[in-house]
Homo-oligomer: A and B are copies of this chain.
Amino acid sequence: MMDMYIGIDLGGTNIAAGIVDENGKIVAKDSTPTLSSRSYQEIVKDMADLSFKLIEKAEISISDIKAAGIGTPGSVDAKNGVVYYANNLNFKNTPLREELQKYINVPVAVENDANAAAFGEYKATGVNSSCFIAVTLGTGVGGGIVINGEIFRGFNGAAGEVGHTTLITDGILCSCGKKGCWEAYASVTALIRQTKVAIEKHPESLMVEIVKKNNNEVSGRTAFDAAKRGDGAAQQVVDQYVRYVADGITDMINIFQPEILVISGGISREGEYLVKPVREYVKKNGYNKGALPMTKIQAATLLNDAGIVGAAYAAELLVK
- Chain A: residues with CB nearer than 8 A to chain B? 75, 85, 129-131, 145, 147, 152-162, 164-169, 176-180, 185, 243-244, 247-248, 250-251, 254-259, 284-289, 291-295
CB distance from A166 to the nearest CB of B (A): 5
- CA of A258 to CA of B159, assembled, Å: 8
10 more A-B residue pairs beyond the given contacts A160-B255, A178-B250, with a C-beta to C-beta distance below 8 A: A85-B291, A154-B257, A155-B293, A158-B292, A161-B254, A161-B287, A164-B251, A164-B287, A167-B169, A179-B285
A158 CB contacts on chain B under 8 angstroms: 257, 287-288, 292
Contact A155 B176 (CB under 8 A): no
A155 CB contacts on chain B under 8 angstroms: 129-131, 257-259, 293, 295
CB distance from A99 to the nearest CB of B (A): 23
Contact A159 B255 (CB under 8 A): yes
A130 CB contacts on chain B under 8 angstroms: 154-155
A250 CB contacts on chain B under 8 angstroms: 166, 178
5 pairs, A vs B, C-beta closer than 8 Å: A159-B255, A161-B255, A164-B254, A166-B248, A180-B247
Contact A162 B255 (CB under 8 A): yes
Question: Which of B157, B165, B247, B295 is close to A255, meaning CB atoms less than 8 Å apart?
Answer: B165
- CA of A251 to CA of B289, assembled, Å: 23
**Which of A161, A176, A243 has most chain B Cβ within 10 Å?**
A161
User: Given contacts A156-B292, A291-B85, are A166 and B164 in contact (CB under 8 A)?
Assistant: no
User: Given contacts A130-B155, A259-B155, are A287 and B176 in contact (CB under 8 A)?
Assistant: yes
